[in-house]
Structure formats: C-alpha cells, structure tokens
Structure 1
C-alpha cells in the first residue's frame, strides 16, 4: 500500500502551495485545491509514518458531510476531482477554531481533572465524570496557529482582539451549534455519539463560509453508543472511533509534544491498525463500503485526475 507523505505539484495558474499538518493546499487564484495526504498529526506534531488510505478517508468523509450540511451554512467545496482532492472557493480564513463539546473528554477532561472549571471562559459543572454529557453543548474556541500549538481563547478575548465582531461571533456560534446538532443526529443514526469536534470558517464576498473538513476522525471524536451508559457508570474508558487512541499510545510511550520529547517510532502493526480504524469510521458514518483508489502510484493518479479536471473547467 503506497501512502502519500507529501506532494510537490505544479498546476496551471498555481501561485503558491502551503503544506499543512495533513493537507497540501494549492492556491489557484480565486480557487483552492486541497490534497489530503496520509500524514497524521498529534499534539501539533506530524508523526514520522504516513497512514495508508487516511487521506482518502478524510477527503471523502469531509465531502460527504459538507454536502449534508449545505442547507445550514454555505461552504467552500465545489468538486472532488480525485479521492484525495477537494477543489473549492478560496476564502479569507477566520483565525479561530470553533470547538464544540457535547461531552467531557480529551483536552477538556484533562483540564477538568487538573481542577479547572472554566474553559475558554465557559463554566463546566462540578461533579462531572469523564465522558459525561454536558447539560448542553459548549463552544470552546481556540486560536488557529500557523505554526506550533493552538491555544484556548475566550469570546471576550476574541472580541477584544478584533478577530471578529460581536455579530460575526454570534453567527459563528449559531452555525457551529447547528452543525454539531446535525452531526450528532447523523452519528446517532449510525450507532455513534459525536463527542466533540471543530469547525473552521472564512469570509468570501462578505459572507461567512464553512471551510476545511468537518466531522472527520481528525477533527472529531466519536464514541460507540452501544454500552456507553454502562461504561460511564462503571468508570470505564469509552469505545471510540477517533484519533484519541493515537494520542493515548503516544502518551504511553512518553510523548505529549512537550519540549525535549522525542516522537516514538510507530510499529507497522500499529500503523495498519490506525488505517483500519479510519476505514471503519468511514464505513460506519457513511453506510458505504470503502473502495481504495485504483492504481499503484497515487501521486501519478492525483496529478492526472487534477489536470484533467482543471483542463475541463478552464476551457
């Protein structure tokens, strides 16, 4: 299985390329081409080994969910010319991530366990257990860092720094909660619980657009609904479909992204387990069988498909 660690293409009308943690973003003027590589990141570090089919899974899940929420908010995606590629409207990104949490897990749980009851200016009730549902979903935004760690930020700080106006914030919050509600309902239909997730937005022609991916295992945490209550009551870890198990493996091997720590080498068996978990989530969420993209050379396939698409759409 040939994984895609990175890409270095030269497409017509290309003005720039940005290599993110997972995606390589090609600037084509008023349009963007995003290639989902098989890189995987955790604790804001790219791990050494790519994960076969991960990029295809992310790209196809994101396209599936963007189509399902088009009635809630306009989004950037126009086409998927290849299983690993998305093409759409270039927006001016808003430099915050809208993190929505329905349950006490992950970063929120680690903060809570350390004694904190305020996260991003939002109060968390006393007496909660790990994986317990909040009385209602909360929005805990984070700064969107170009490099290094994203940082928690409160609504007050967002407004004081002029990142968005009060009206724009209220629109972002409304969109984020509506998207989370839709994602939660879709997850329930598939026997899953959408625990928490993040959304990113941008401006285009004076309007707020949903950008990037949504409801993927890189941006979201899912629990299996079956057995959730029993595990919660017994204080057991939830069975989940998300990237959290990768973070847990790294922590068990002495890595949390802190200065001086060395990223441990993932054995091939663990890499294949990660790949299979991504495929399982795709099939669980979409109800479709995963079909690996054809061809032995994914880079050659991507370039061929993208050039054919651009030639057709620019003619």
Structure 2
C-alpha cells in the first residue's frame, strides 16, 4: 500500500486525455478518447473518474484503480463472456474495441439496500413486493441478502430517460433487446456477478450490487465499460456487516457521504476536497483493488504518451 505521504504528493495528479498527433481522427468524450485507425475505432480510457467526474485529479490514482481493476476483472471473466479489452499498455490507460452498446444498463443486486427513489429497499419499504417485475418475499429488512441475485434493468442515458425502471417483459415487449440476446445478457450478468461475489468474499469484501454494460462486437455479446470497481459497484467491508449498524463502504458512497456532511446536495459547484480526505479516499480505492486482486497496486508514471502511441501504432499497422 502506498503511504499517506505518497498519496498526498500525488494530489492532484491525473492523465485526463491522450493527444497523439498524426494518428487518425480523434474524438474526446467525458471519460475516454476515441481514435479512428483505418476501419477501426479504438476507445482509450485514461486516469479519469467515472463517478463525480468533476473531481478528476483531486483524488490520486482513482482513475488508474478503475482502469487496472477492470482489466483484472475482465481476465477473471473471460470464460463466461467476451469483453472489449485490447490491451493495457500503461497503468494509466486501457485500449478497447468499440462495441455497439445495448440500450440498457444491467444492475445486478445481491442485497436489498439503497436510498434513491429507484432502489430496491426504497420501493420495498413503500410496500412494493414486485419491483422491476420480480417477486420478493415478505419480511426482508434493509441490507438483507436476497434469496438469489436479481437483475433490475434500466435505460442508458443516451437511449432515453436515464434510470427508467424497466422489467424484463417491458424490454421484450418494446423491442429494446430481442429475446434470445437478452436471455444471454441475463445469464452472463448473473454468472459474472456470482463470481465477483466469490472473489470479493476471499478479500474480505461483500459485492452488494453493481452495474454491467453489454454490447455487440461483430455480432457477438461482449462485456464493456468498467466492471466491479468502486465507482460501478457497492462494496461493504465484510467484518462490519451484520453488526447492527450500516456496513462500512469501500466505494464511491464514502465520497457521497462526505459531500452530504459538508452540505453539498448535487447542485452548484462541487466543494473543494481537502488533500487529507482525498488521500484517505484514494487509500480506500487502492485497498479495494488490493483486497480483490491480491496484488499490490503500482501506479503508472507520467508521461504515458510514448507507450500509448506505440500501442496505437501497433493496432493501426
């Protein structure tokens, strides 16, 4: 684990974009760059953040943890479903094939929890016993494990109203995803989640719920985006679960709670994050990486452009 001094010295430190002159057309989006290399389009994800993207650079290595952890998870899941990863030529960056994303996000939940208007616990506590069209038994309490992991699908922001509550029947009736393909998505998502839970348990964490995105590459189903990271998933520290209080978070919820403690509700400018808290949060992200993978987190050093350029040139040739 990096020391607090190491972490403080890295605030702020983030590689936010790739600029490789003379190598195909480039587009830049919120969390990735896209290069068009001949008839190929390559997604380049750097040390940016996917949740609370306005704080990029304030929390050292946050984006690198997301990149490196996703790369590791993809390797653990290759026998279940294909993915879009090409390579990780540098700890700062991942290169991925462009996919045709499916217009749904797949939320897999292993516990009944959450506080938002669309969370399972909020709906269940209000009396719904078939949220998202899924039957739940009476008597569940907040943060209880579900009998089996369930899928609560939602629309992607680019494809309609974000966080629109969907059921499996609605997806099929509206033709959002055709039945045979959606069956494959469900099977892959549950299998990936269950393996994720097993791996997390070995590291002393509980994978509570997570978001998966799927797409098609040459007509075949592939897992895309980031996977089982502290920004895309909820992780509890196992030894704090079931103690009569809220379990300890090793995910973005810890930052959300800090925002709430300083009176920030999501409107207006994000408050400056003190270096000491940024280092603490970075330590939690890195600890999650190390608990899950069993490996020591090694940050990449800047500049990374020469290594990225060499990888892109290899794809273009």
Encode CA deviations 1:200-230: one digit per residue, 9 max, x unaligned: 111112111111111111111111222423x
Contact 1:40 1:51 in 2 (8 A): no
Distance 2:158 2:214 in 1: 15
* SS class of match (2:191): helix
- The equivalent residue for 1:158 is 171
Could you tell me how far 1:129 is from its partner in structure 2? 2.0
Unaligned 5+ runs, structure 2: 1-9
Contact 1:5 1:39 in 2 (8 A): no
Could you tell me how far 1:115 is from its partner in structure 2? 4.5
Instruction: Determine if the alignment matches structure 1 residue 119 to structure 2 residue 131.
Output: yes
1:19 maps to which of 18, 29, 44? 29
The 5 A counterparts of 1:1-315 are 1=10, 2-4=12-14, 6-7=16-17, 9-10=19-20, 12-20=22-30, 23-28=31-36, 29-39=39-49, 41-42=51-52, 46-47=54-55, 50-106=58-114, 107-146=119-158, 149-229=162-242, 231=243, 234=244, 236-257=245-266, 260=267, 263-294=270-301, 298=302, 301-315=303-317
Could you tell me how far 1:10 is from its partner in structure 2? 4.0
* SS class of match (1:146): helix
TM-score (structure 1 length as normaliser): 0.86
Distance 1:111 1:250 in 2: 25
Contact 2:54 2:270 in 1 (8 A): no
- Cα distance change of structure 1 residues 292 and 111 upon mapping to structure 2, 3 Å threshold: same
Distance 1:70 1:46 in 2: 32
Unaligned 5+ runs, structure 1: none
- Cα distance change of structure 1 residues 11 and 119 upon mapping to structure 2, 3 Å threshold: farther
Name which of structure 1's ranges 134-143 and 113-122 shifts more when overlaid on structure 2.
113-122
Distance 1:182 1:170 in 2: 19
Distance 1:208 1:306 in 2: 27
* SS class of match (1:271): helix
Name which of structure 1's ranges 120-129 and 276-285 shifts more when overlaid on structure 2.
120-129
Distance 2:96 2:268 in 1: 38
- Cα distance change of structure 1 residues 128 and 265 upon mapping to structure 2, 3 Å threshold: farther
Count of residue pairs the alignment pairs up? 300
Distance 1:253 1:40 in 2: 22
Name which of structure 1's ranges 220-229 and 72-81 shifts more when overlaid on structure 2.
220-229
Distance 1:85 1:48 in 2: 15
Distance 1:97 1:192 in 2: 24
* SS class of match (2:246): coil
